[in-house]
């Protein structure tokens, strides 16, 4: 009898070209996304004077450095050069580019699923750690470094050692107003920022089945913040409904045939995981981060940790340094923390559902602080405008901008000023992530909207309507 | 790729956990061409103030000048996949990082550039950190053959994936290894596209 296999095992097995005696496998890559930041990799390819092996499986997206205002002009010559270099590489090597003026442009991890390029069972890579996002559709998707990007460009393959398997089962029903972002932060604070290191993560349980595709994308996106090699959700009816009719997905009979194959990807009943963890969605409160790692998350009604109350001196030192950087007083209630601005954007939380959740809080209200809303893709932007969400954001006093990585990483100049505190829907609250000496608090889009209204970290449930 | 066999060098203790790649090289420097050298960007914002003045970070202490190894706490290199983090370490002169755990992508990037991520137990990391702080000269020896670190008169084992160890010892390049499988790749491609035609977008 065949051995019971996990979802990950099945996708892994279908991509192994050879396995060496030492255990490293050469894997076939189905989708390779590159962006302006991939210039180091293209230089390596040029040095070897080799072509891109599979231009039809390679897709370029301008997102990391693109301006979010006054497009298509690019004021900064250095950034203009980066975007041009990507266009040049796409033209020269003959791969499809979602460039600055393309109506389908957006953040790579939003565009891939949205276009139907990301499909169940595919192996997807990109020179960006949040490639884990695509696993929400049942793909094996992970971020790689520049040398690996170059290797994929030249060979369409990658050497990997099979990671261990870990399953996180989340049962129960999320309380009203809470979202996948709260689930993600709960996972990370439970297992730690390196808690899933070396593991392929599978999410299961009724709270996951109940999540929309947008929510699953958010959850898998943040899994890299728990150190996971990749994260996956088994394809189901939600997945198929999401993919049906997407521009680059198979159509008609081919789609139905594919769905039949994808249905078989779910973990077999007796499949064994190296680690299993269970969480209850029903007991989660809205979470915010207070420190400089995504694991530094606490329920909104909690207090900033006190280093003096910490027995382990190394941990106390870590807490103190984090508080110093964040400009927070030990023991103060999180709800008393005043913010200077808000940001709604990034591949974590700028899909249509995220914008709707934020707009629901902001509707008919004014923001007490300035803020920026950058949709996850140009298509999301157009959709939001059809729904009138842009008006809600504008009338609240927030800026409505074009799509790109924007203030998630600040490479395009959308920065949080030194010393400023930002309530953000992004994924990393690292020191300096949103700008030198910027202070980032991660939370869900609805929580960011609530912070915008009051000017401080706020439990969105106090503002939710009926 | 440069080979790594044995390092006998000054080391800099960094008592920090979760040193992410945004710390190792802030995003704003990543559009620069590598030919400029990335060493001066290493841990830039922890080391330099707004006017470029030194903030007294350990790396810039006279005692650690010329360090070729870094010792840190858990989860070193977590975060973004930017290989530029390794370029910054490498161009600065760092050849080995010792820590209780590493971000997966960072560790992979490191090895591809000849830099050794040596994993030690949390207790040993503390012992090495402590030893470097009190030693007259913060020196250590890292031997990849024997997988041992000598520091402060004590010896510690470290772990590294067996394949990565061989790659570092031999200076192997992935592409050379892959090329030997050219025929298998072609055959696999044909089979893959037949079995899953949706792999090739329309
Ligand atoms: S939005 Fe942020 S996390 Fe997402 S791809 Fe862009 S820089 Fe990376």
Give Cβ neighbours of residue A77 (< 8 Å, ≥ 6 apart).
none
pLDDT of residue A314: 87
Residues with CB under 6 A from ligand 1: A 63-64, 107-109, 128, 130, 346-347, 405, 408-409, 427
Please write the tens of the pLDDT for every residue from B87-132. 999 999 999 999 999 998 999 999 999 999 999 999 999 999 999 9
Q: Using a CB-CB distance cutoff of 8 angstroms, which residues of chain B are in contact with residue A143?
A: 81, 105
A289 forms bridges with which residues in the sheet? Answer: A297
User: Could you tell me the end-to-end alpha-carbon distance of chain A, in angstroms, rounded to an integer?
Assistant: 55
Residue B72 parent element (H or E) = none
CA distance B114 to A392: 52
C-alpha–C-alpha distance, residues A447 and A300, integer Å: 9
User: DSSP of A231-294, one letter per residue?
Assistant: EEE---HHHHHHHTT-TTS--HHHHHHHHHHHHTTSPPTT---SEEEEEEGGG---EEE-SSST
**Ligand 1 center to B186 CA (angstroms):** 34
Residue A208: CA count within 13 A, CB half-sphere: 26
| Backbone angle region of B74, left / alpha / beta, with phi > 0 → left and psi within -120 to 50 → alpha | beta
The last residue of one of the domains, among A243, A275, A307, is A275
Q: Are strands B139-143 and B6-13 parallel, antiparallel or unpaired?
A: antiparallel
Domain assignment present for A2 = no
pLDDT tens string, chain A, 466 residues long: the values are: 578 999 999 999 999 999 988 889 999 999 999 999 999 899 999 999 999 999 999 999 999 999 999 999 999 998 999 999 999 999 999 999 999 999 999 999 999 999 999 999 999 999 999 999 999 999 999 999 999 999 999 999 999 999 999 999 999 999 999 999 999 999 999 999 999 999 999 999 999 999 999 999 999 999 999 999 999 999 999 999 999 999 999 999 999 999 999 999 999 999 999 999 999 999 999 999 999 999 999 999 999 999 999 999 989 999 999 999 999 999 999 999 999 999 999 999 999 999 999 999 999 999 999 999 999 999 999 999 999 999 999 999 999 999 999 999 999 999 999 999 999 999 999 999 999 999 999 999 999 999 999 999 999 999 987 5
SS3 assignment, position B160: coil
Mutate to test the interface with A, among B80, B88, B171, B183 (most CBs of A within 10 A): B80
CA pair distance A431, B26, nearest whole angstrom: 9
Examine residue B116 and say whether the peptide bond preceding it is cis (omega within 30 degrees of 0). no
Question: What ipTM was estimated for this complex?
Answer: 0.94
DSSP class of A416? P
CA dist A337 → A30, B32, B169 (Å): 46, 37, 51
CA atoms of A370 and B174, how far apart (whole Å): 49
pLDDT single digits (tens) B3-15: 999 999 999 999 9
Of ligand 1's listed atoms, the one at least distance from the Cα of A109 is: 5
CA A331, A334, A339, A341 torsion-angle sign = positive
Is pLDDT at B172 greater than 90 in this prediction? Answer: no
Q: How far is Cα A57 from Cα A246, in angstroms, rounded to an integer?
A: 17
Query: Is the pLDDT at B202 greater than 80, yes or no?
Result: no
B138, pLDDT greater than 90: yes
Report the candidate in A352, A346, A328, A350 with the shortest Cα–Cα distance to residue A434.
A346
**In this structure, are residues A297 and A428 in contact, taking their beta carbons and an 8 Å threshold?**
no
How much is the pLDDT for A353?
98
Tally the domains of chain A. 2
Q: Based on the domain organization, do A309 and A350 belong to the same domain?
A: yes
For residue A270, report the distance from its CA to the centre of ligand 1, in Å: 37
- What global pTM score does this model have? 0.94
Domain ranges (residues) in chain B: 6-171
| Statement to judge: residues A200 and A70 lie in one domain | yes
Helix (H) or strand (E) holding A40: helix A39-48
Q: What is the pLDDT of residue A254?
A: 97
What count of Cα atoms within 13 Å lies in the side-chain half-sphere of residue B136? 1
Q: Residue A90 Cα, ligand 1 centroid: separation in angstroms?
A: 21
Pick one of 3.20.20.140, 3.40.50.300, 3.30.70.260, 3.20.19.10 as the CATH number of B6-171.
Answer: 3.20.19.10
**B1 touches A at CB < 8 Å:** no
Q: Which of A33, A35, A63 for a ligand 1 pocket mutation test, highest count of atoms within 8 Å of Cβ?
A: A63
Residue where a domain terminates, one of A230, A245, A275: A275
**Cβ within 8 Å, pair B199-A79:** no
Average confidence (pLDDT) over B28-56: 92
State whether A124 and A221 are in the same domain: yes
pLDDT band at B173 (very low <50, low <70, confident <90, very high): confident
Domain boundary among A212, A245, A275: A275
A257 and A315 in a single domain? The answer is no
Q: What angle do CA A39, A45, A48 make, to 5 degrees?
A: 145
Question: In terms of domains, do A83 and A114 share one?
Answer: yes
Q: For residue A436, give the nearest of B16, B45, B126 by CB distance.
A: B45
Among B37, B71, B49, B40, which Cα is nearest to B140's?
A: B71
Domain of residue A436, residue span: 288-462
**Statement to judge: residues A255 and A299 lie in one domain:** no
Question: CB–CB of A37/A62 below 8 Å?
Answer: no
Question: Nearest CA to CA, how far is B23 from chain A (Å)?
Answer: 7
Ligand 1 centre to CA of A157 (Å) is: 24
- H-type helices in A266-397, by residue range? 313-326, 352-362, 378-387, 389-396
Whether B2 has a pLDDT exceeding 80, the answer reads yes
Chain B, 16 to 55: residues with Cβ < 8 Å from chain A are 16-18, 20, 22-23, 26-28, 30-31, 34, 45-46, 50
Beta-carbon contacts of A276 under 8 Å, excluding residues fewer than 6 positions away, are: A166, A167, A168, A169
CATH number at residue A180: 3.30.499.10
Residue percentage of chain B with pLDDT more than 90? 83
Q: Which long-range CB contacts under 8 A does B194-201 form with residues at least 24 apart?
A: B195/A14, B196/A14, B196/A121, B196/A258, B196/A261, B197/A250, B197/A254, B198/A119, B198/A249, B198/A250, B198/A254, B198/A258, B199/A30, B199/A57, B199/A122, B200/A56, B200/A57, B201/A56, B201/A117, B201/A248
CA A244 to chain centre: 22
The pLDDT assigned to A60 comes to 98
How high is the pLDDT of residue A21? 82
């Amino acid at each position: 009898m065949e051995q019971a296999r996990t979802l990950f095992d099945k996708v892994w097995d279908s991509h192994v070209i050879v396995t060496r005696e030492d255990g490293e496998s050469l894997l076939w890559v189905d989708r390779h996304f590159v962006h302006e930041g991939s210039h180091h990799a293209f230089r390596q390819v040029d040095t070897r004077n080799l072509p891109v092996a599979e231009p039809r499986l390679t897709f370029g997206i301008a997102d990391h450095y693109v301006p979010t205002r006054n497009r298509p002009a690019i004021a900064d010559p250095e950034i203009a050069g980066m975007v041009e270099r990507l266009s040049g590489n796409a033209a020269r090597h003959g791969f499809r580019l979602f460039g600055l003026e393309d109506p389908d442009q957006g953040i790579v991890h939003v565009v891939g699923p949205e276009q139907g390029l990301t499909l169940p069972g595919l192996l997807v890579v990109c020179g960006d750690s949040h490639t884990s996002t695509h696993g929400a559709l049942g793909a094996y998707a992970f971020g790689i470094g520049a040398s690996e990007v170059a290797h994929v460009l030249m060979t369409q393959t990658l050497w990997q050692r099979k990671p261990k398997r870990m399953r996180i089962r989340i049962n129960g029903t999320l309380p009203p107003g809470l979202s996948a972002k709260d689930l993600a932060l709960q996972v990370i604070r439970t297992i730690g920022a390196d808690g899933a290191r070396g593991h392929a993560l599978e999410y299961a349980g009724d709270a996951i089945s109940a999540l929309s595709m947008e929510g699953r994308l958010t959850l898998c996106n943040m899994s890299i913040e728990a150190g996971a090699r990749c994260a996956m959700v088994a394809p189901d009816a939600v997945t198929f409904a999401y993919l049906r009719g997407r521009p680059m997905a198979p159509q008609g009979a081919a789609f139905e045939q594919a769905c039949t194959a994808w249905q078989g990807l779910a973990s077999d009943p007796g499949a064994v995981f190296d680690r299993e963890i269970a969480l209850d969605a029903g007991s989660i409160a809205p979470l915010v981060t207070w420190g400089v790692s995504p694991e530094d998350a606490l329920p909104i009604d909690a207090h900033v940790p006190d280093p003096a109350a910490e027995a382990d001196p190394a941990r106390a030192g870590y807490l103190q340094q984090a508080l110093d950087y964040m400009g927070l007083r030990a023991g103060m209630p999180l709800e008393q923390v005043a913010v200077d601005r808000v940001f709604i954007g990034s591949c974590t939380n700028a899909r249509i559902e995220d914008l709707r959740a934020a707009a629901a809080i902001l509707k008919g209200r004014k923001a007490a602080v300035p803020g920026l809303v950058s949709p996850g893709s140009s298509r999301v932007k157009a959709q939001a405008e059809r729904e009138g969400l842009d008006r809600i954001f504008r009338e609240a006093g927030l800026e409505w901008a074009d799509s790109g990585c924007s203030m998630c990483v600040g490479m395009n100049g959308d920065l949080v000023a030194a010393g400023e505190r930002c309530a953000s829907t992004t994924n990393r609250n690292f020191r300096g992530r949103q700008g030198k000496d910027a202070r980032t608090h991660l939370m869900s889009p609805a929580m960011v909207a609530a912070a915008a209204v009051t000017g401080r970290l706020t439990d969105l449930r106090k503002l939710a309507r009926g | 790729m440069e080979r790594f066999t044995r390092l006998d060098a000054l080391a800099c203790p960094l008592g920090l956990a979760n040193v992410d790649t945004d710390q190792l090289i802030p995003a704003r420097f990543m559009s620069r061409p590598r030919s400029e050298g990335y060493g001066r960007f290493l841990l830039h914002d922890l080391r330099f103030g707004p006017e470029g003045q030194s903030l007294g970070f350990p790396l810039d202490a006279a005692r650690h000048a010329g360090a070729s190894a870094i010792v840190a706490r858990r989860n070193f290199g977590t975060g973004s996949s930017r290989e530029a983090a390794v370029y910054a370490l490498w161009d600065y002169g760092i050849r080995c990082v010792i820590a209780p755990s590493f971000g997966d992508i960072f560790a992979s990037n490191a090895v591809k550039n000849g830099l050794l991520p040596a994993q030690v137990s949390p207790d040993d990391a503390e012992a090495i950190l402590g030893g470097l702080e009190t030693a007259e000269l913060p020196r250590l020896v890292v031997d990849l053959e024997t997988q041992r670190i000598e520091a402060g008169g004590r010896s510690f084992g470290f772990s590294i994936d067996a394949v990565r160890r061989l790659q570092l010892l031999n200076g192997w390049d992935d592409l050379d290894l892959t090329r030997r499988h050219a025929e298998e790749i072609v055959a696999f491609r044909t089979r893959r596209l037949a079995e899953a035609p949706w792999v090739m977008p329309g």
